[in-house]
Structure 1
Amino acid sequence: MDLRALPIPGLRSIPGLAPRGPRAVLELDLGHGLRTGPPRHPLEALRARHAPSLRAVGDGLRRAAADDDVLGLLVHVGTCPLPLSVADEVGAMIADFSQDKPSIAWTATFGELTSGLNGYRLAVNAREIWVQPSGALGLTGVHLGITLLRGGLEKLGIDPEFGQRHEYKSAADQLAATEVSQANREMVQRMADAIVDDTVARVASRRSLDAADVRAAMARAPLSAADALEAGLVDRVGYRDEVYAHARRTWTPAWEPTYVHRWAQAQQGSASSRLGALHQRHRPTVAVVDVTGPIVLGAGSGSQAGADRIGARLREVGRDDEVKAVVLRVDSPGGSYVASDAIRREVLRLRESGRPVVATMGTAAASGGYFVAMPCDEIVAQPTTLTGSIGVLAGKMVVARLLDRVGIVTEAIDAGPRAGFLAPGRPFTDDEWQVLDAWLDEVYADFTTKAAADRGLDLAVLEPLARGRVWVGVDAHERGLVDHLGGTRLALERACGLAGLDPDDVRLPSPSSLEWLQRLRPAESSESPAARGRRGGGADGSRGGARATGRLRRHRRAPRGAVDAARPHLPRLMP
């Protein structure tokens, strides 16, 4: 007999024997997306107020799987506005929960004349999949495209001049090539094929189907709801009300729906959780450091990974004796070579302090993003993460013909033979091309040498995997560029394993949702926490001083149109 159901006076005061209220069925509504980090500015905080955090969902589902008062999980897939890597991470959370409790993933349709691959890859992790009778299963595969802009730019009077290392560095092709190269075509085709191969294997395993049957269904997609049911790709056809009625019939009628993150917040506010929080203060800490967005010199804006800001954060972590391990969360397409190298140095210094550092990659950790991840003890990537791209490109857009066409007269005033090296008003001279090529060779040699050393590979083995080529996570794993396939939870487990810690018995501080307010506080020194959000100013009180080279200021908004295209492209580690 459950004593909590008896009306005994004073029973509420006995821990663990409070009368049981309605049991819960958790809801996960992906229609508003998920937050993967704290808001970076007030507007983003306002937009994200209805979106739960990825971490809150994961923590809630892990706790709910062991709670007898939670009956099951209902996942509204909706349009699934999540990047593929995030959808896979959420899918893994659902799969873990579904090992212990029933779960249903439902949606009106997996794509309406569009691909529903992201949402369906997530849904197959639930025990049951429902789709509306008028819906469909758009398991149509992966469509990628290659766009070359040079022809259009030349018609405008803009002449791209770029160098790259090497043939797979497709960002340079996008601006400077006149036809799609075989290397670029090969790379993009393999990326699409790898995602399809992983999807087929994932669906076949989760749905207990033969891989050939899944491929045959993909060839017929989009499938109607009835056809998807007949193919064994969904379990039932029904509307939302029928999903909930089915759950009440089969799980028990006495339950109340509640969002996963709201349920988790309520649990954290309970008396037992408050006692647990007091105990947690004495647990070892695992710090999470984010490298999100293009990697730039300086502090960077809210949407950029500023080397100064990230370096200050890594040094702050290194000074905290309670931090026993670090997870470096990277979601970046790359950026400045020098900035990436500065962050790599701070990661190495953190490792020298005896703390293991494990990188976890999101949608992309390519080029500069890979540069900052490669010195970590281990690297975890999603199967669809875009990574590698070990290479470099640099150049400029020459707008001399455009300015002449519209009647704008400019005259360069240089002091020094190479002062106008990256000036957009004229093309490179032969001497300047030699300087640029020498610089690209130097950067490429440095990148590949450090990558080989960090990954414990001979340079002769690493270099053919470089050459600017972008790999998806599953291929990068096969070639030794990453160590494990998974998400943030696996990275935490690996970091704890290397530090000799129990991942369920560590303190994982949550980033403040008001972290952006730190930018308003003056820093006492470069080691102050406030320095992580600081933006520098010029001597005239502006946001930056003039550069002696005469280059356009990158941090100042330029007029729209041709002047934006005239910005010089410094050496970049971009896909």
Structure 2
Amino acid sequence: MPTTPGANKGASMLLRAAGLPLRLVKSTALGAAYLRLAGLARSRIKTARQLVHPRTSITWRISEGSIVETGLPSSEGFGLSSLLARVLSRYDNDPPKITMLNALTALEMAANDPRVSLLDVRVVPAAGAGNRPVSLGLGFAQAQELHQAVMLFNYKKSKQFPSGGWGSSFTIASFDDQLTYYFASAFTFISMLPTGKVPLSGISWAQLHHKNLLEALGIDMQTGTRMEHNSSGAHFTESEIPEKHHESNLSVRKSLNDTLVSDIANSRSFDIMASFSETYKSTEDPLQFVQSRLRIVMAKLGPYIDAEWAQSIGLITDVSWDFIEDNTSVLRQRTDIGAYVKACRQEIERESRDRSTFHPILDKLIQLVRGQAAANKHRLLRAYRSQDRATVGVVYLLGAIERGGENGANLVAKALVDAALDPEVHSVVVRVDSPGGDFVACSTVSGMISMVQNMYGKPVIASYGNTAASGAYSATSSCNMIVASRSTLTGGIGVSSMCPESIQRMADPFKTNSQLSSAFKPESHLHELEGDKLESYKRFTDKSYEWIVGLIALGRRMAEDEVASIAQGQMFTGDQAAKNKLVDNLMGFTQAVEIAAHAGYRA
């Protein structure tokens, strides 16, 4: 169809804005064809200049503290001290820090990238570690997320390279904690020194009880716990663990151990089956057989499984002194994981620009050719650039939740407000790794999350890391969706308050006496709560508990009675929490970001 001069001018403005040589478009069909050909030409140039080459081997050096949940290390700030830290960091040879989100994203991108064929991870001691045991400092849920990411990498590579030539390797001198081995068990090749060990024995923990010590010091601990399973104050008020607390701990520990055994059995099943093939019967389920053998090994040999034994039963692949140099990828293009992420981001940004420039929607192009470009050019170009894209803001809720401080509720609330006010942010992920904290601080975070969702219409997704218990759960219970790992520790819902009293008895041996005015007495620990003051203390605890139950019931769309039945202070793993409707999905950090992106795009 012939076009008018105004249409030619409009099309020319579009092409000039796109950074292309000026061309006069004679018809809508030719215009679309030209844009397509120009896109193909740029694609060839991009391929010629690509930063990631075929058969790339990604190397990742890690040490204690190099994988962090969030936050820039001090060496990445500004000023003279930061500059000095950056200079010194070049000489300590420590691996660069990487956040969990970046690490998981890098592994996911590498899994889907057919140019990458090998993942090589090496654990090195941190500078100044001395003879301290080498631990990556990961929690169970973090180790599980990384484990699953490597398993996905292996699966994808087996499909991309059906004839072989792919793999993932993990090299370490010795495993000094079992969560590091749990992460490593996902790799196809595991190498360690002959003098090393695998401390695989299962999940357990201990709790000290201080009641007898406090009584000897003349201190009584007044508690306001309202839940029979809550053990937060039991180490001050009991001389041994109460039966209900013991039952709750056993349930959580069993769930975590089941996860540990099943994940290692899944990833190492071929090697373990090969080592126990003589005792395997054809009538047995292979996975159950591997799990049973793994439990026997953990019970009999753990935590002192030496390298030779570990290799003989399939826990590791190789025992070698050559743990520094890598001979498996000499012929490959080696790329550090940080450089790989940077290269991929550059490619994604370039492809995004190309897509928004060279492939606009055809009906929009028709509008431009009909002479409407002059009025709509800038608006349409903005639409092209934002097409099929959603920006997800990530806010972190870490450590004990306090009203102020480095990770204070005031800063978390400010970050949520910033995300709500930012027109470029379409949804938010709240990443949680916290045991709870101050009642008022937790309610502050909860209120801000509700504001982002209700007043600004932006979806908020909660992603639980190692722990999201007590106040951390109630603070995020109103999120549109809650996702957690199977090994996340959550629950512990309720209120627990403690008030030490009668410290005066502690001073009696020193012949010290104190007299208190009636105005000061209620705030002092030098007397016992009694009468109306004791009733007021209990009433305030009850009101706080009722408020938390109501908040969770509203956020999770549950009846208050249903919430109260599981808000007895008991802890749950992610598996157990999902069964109790406290968690919506069992998945990792990157999957939570993806869900938030889709929700933000729809919103």
Structure-1 residue corresponding to 2:468:
365
Offset at residue 484 of structure 1 (A): 1.5
Residue of structure 2 equivalent to 1:454: 555
Specify which of 277, 287, 298 is matched with residue 218 of structure 1.
Answer: 298
Q: Which structure features the higher share of helix residues?
A: 2
Q: Contact (CA 8 Å) 2:392, 2:600: kept in 1 or not?
A: no
One-letter amino acid of the structure 2 residue matched with residue 465 of structure 1:
I
Judged with a 3 Å threshold, the aligned counterparts in structure 2 of structure 1 residues 59 and 179 are, in CA distance, closer, same or farther, namely: closer
Q: Determine which of 78, 98, 119 is the counterpart of 1:52.
A: 98
1:483 is matched with 584
SS of alignment partner, residue 481 of structure 1:
coil
- Deviation by residue 1:178-203 (Cα, 9 ceiling, x = unmatched): 33210111112222211111111111
Q: One-letter code of the match for 2:392? A: V
1:260/1:414 Cα in 2 relative to 1: closer, same or farther (>3 Å)?
farther
Tell me how far 1:390 sits from its aligned partner: 0.9
1:15 pairs with one of 17, 24, 46: 46
Which letter maps to 2:310? A
Q: Deviations over 1:433-490 (max 9, x none)?
A: 2111111111112212222232222333322211111112221122211111222112
The structure with more radius of gyration: 2
Matched to 1:36, the amino acid is: E
Contact 1:32–1:50 under 8 Å retained in 2: no
SS in 2 for 1:232: coil
Q: Which residue of 2 aligns with 1:377?
A: 480
Aligned 8 A contact 1:396 1:422 in 2:
no
1:146-174 deviation line (CA, Å, top 9, x unaligned): 22122222323332222211122211112
CA contact (8 A) 2:105 2:590 kept: no
Equivalent of residue 324 in structure 1, options 409, 422, 426: 426
**TM-fit CA distance, 1:140:** 0.7
1:364: Cα distance to partner? Answer: 1.3
Structure 2 unmatched ranges of 5 or more: 1-43, 124-133, 158-166, 270-286, 357-383
Corresponding residue for residue 62 of structure 2: 30
Provide the rounded CA distance (Å) in 2 between the counterparts of 1:22 and 1:460.
59
Cα distance change on mapping 1:351 and 1:240 into 2, 3 Å: farther
Moved more, 434-443 or 59-68: 59-68
Shift of residue 107 of structure 1? 2.1
How do 1:1-400 residues align onto structure 2 when only pairs under 5 Å count? 14-18=45-49, 24-33=56-65, 34-39=67-72, 50-67=96-113, 69-77=115-123, 79-101=135-157, 102-111=167-176, 116-208=177-269, 209=287, 210-222=290-302, 223-241=305-323, 244-245=326-327, 247-248=328-329, 253-255=330-332, 257-268=334-345, 273=349, 276=352, 282=386, 283-297=389-403, 300-302=404-406, 304-306=407-409, 308-352=410-454, 353-398=456-501, 399-400=503-504
- For these two proteins, the number of residue pairs brought into alignment is 475
Distance between the aligned counterparts of 2:577 and 2:49, measured in 1? 52
CA–CA distance in structure 2, aligned partners of residues 284 and 498 of structure 1: 9
The CA deviation string for residues 285-330 of structure 1, in whole angstroms up to 9 with x for no partner, is 1111111122223xx111x332x22222222222223222111111
Answer yes or no: is the 8 Å Cα contact 2:54–2:116 preserved in 1: no
- SS of the residue aligned with 2:60? strand
Q: Residue 73 of structure 2 contacts residue 97 of structure 2 at CA under 8 Å; is this kept in 1?
A: no
Kindly provide the amino acid, as one letter, of the partner of residue 26 in structure 1.
Answer: I
Q: CA deviation at 1:495?
A: 1.8
- 1:528 equivalent in structure 2: none
User: Could you state the TM-score of these two structures normalised by the residue count of structure 1?
Assistant: 0.75
Report if aligned partners of 1:156, 1:402 keep a CA contact under 8 Å in 2: yes
1:110/1:166 Cα in 2 relative to 1: closer, same or farther (>3 Å)? Answer: same
Report SS of the residue matched to 1:144: coil
Q: For residue 80 of structure 1, give the secondary structure of its aligned residue in structure 2.
A: coil
Q: Which residue of 1 aligns with 2:274?
A: none
Is the contact between residue 229 and residue 235 of structure 1 (CA under 8 Å) also seen in structure 2? yes
Alignment identity in percent? 26
Query: Residues 212, 151 of structure 1: CA spacing in aligned structure 2 closer, same or farther, 3 A cutoff?
Result: same
CA distances 1:40-77 after superposition (whole Å, capped 9, x unpaired): 87899869983222222223333333445533111225
Cα distance in 2, alignment partners of residues 149 and 281 from structure 1: 62
Return the letter of the residue paired with 1:234. I
Name the SS of the counterpart of 1:99 in structure 2: helix
Of stretches 312-321 and 256-265 in structure 1, the one that deviates more from structure 2 is 256-265
Q: Deviations over 1:391-422 (max 9, x none)?
A: 1111322222223344555433343xxx5334
**Rounded Cα–Cα distance in structure 1 between residues aligned with 2:438 and 2:473:** 12
The CA distance in 2 between the partners of 1:226 and 1:147, in whole Å, is 36
**Mapped partners of 2:308, 2:550: distance in 1:** 55
- The equivalent position to 1:436 in structure 2, one of 512, 518, 537, is 537
Residues in 1 aligned to 2:591 and 2:53: alpha-carbon distance in whole angstroms: 35
Structure 1 pair 234–157 and aligned structure 2 pair: CA distance change class (3 A): same
1:271–1:468 Cα change, 3 Å: closer
2-structure distance, mates of 1:215, 1:49: 35
Q: How far apart, CA to CA, are the structure 2 residues paired with 1:41 and 1:466? A: 40
- SS of the residue corresponding to residue 50 of structure 1 reads coil
Q: Please give the alpha-carbon distance, in whole angstroms, between the structure 2 residues aligned to 1:43 and 1:244.
A: 30
Tell me if 1:413 matches 2:413: no
AA of the residue aligned to 1:135: G
Task: Tell me the secondary structure at the aligned position of residue 100 of structure 1.
Answer: helix
Partners of 2:321 and 2:557 lie apart in 1 by: 54
1:272–1:184 distance in 2 versus 1, CA, 3 Å = closer
Q: 1:103 and 1:482 mapped to 2: Cα distance?
A: 32
**1:365 to 1:220, Cα distance in 2 relative to 1, 3 A:** same
The C-alpha deviation readout for 1:473-511, integer Å capped at 9, x for no partner, is: 221122211111222112112223334469xxxxxxxxx
Cα offsets for 1:317-348 (capped at 9, x unmatched): 22223222111111111112122122212211
Secondary structure of 2:326's match?
helix
Distance of 1:271 and 1:87 partners within structure 2: 29
CA distance in 1, matches of 2:267, 2:530: 59
Indicate the SS of the match to 1:445: helix
| In structure 1, distance between residues paired with 2:148 and 2:137 | 17
Q: For residues 62 and 173 of structure 1, do their structure 2 counterparts lie closer, same or farther at Cα, with a shift above 3 Å needed?
A: same
The one of 551, 559, 569 aligned to 1:468: 569
Deviates more, 1:221-230 or 1:393-402: 221-230
CA contact (8 A) 2:262 2:291 kept: yes
Report the AA paired with residue 424 of structure 2.
E
Q: Is contact 1:187–1:470 with CA below 8 Å preserved after alignment?
A: yes
Contact 1:30/1:81 (<8 A) preserved: no
Amino acid across the alignment from 2:173: A
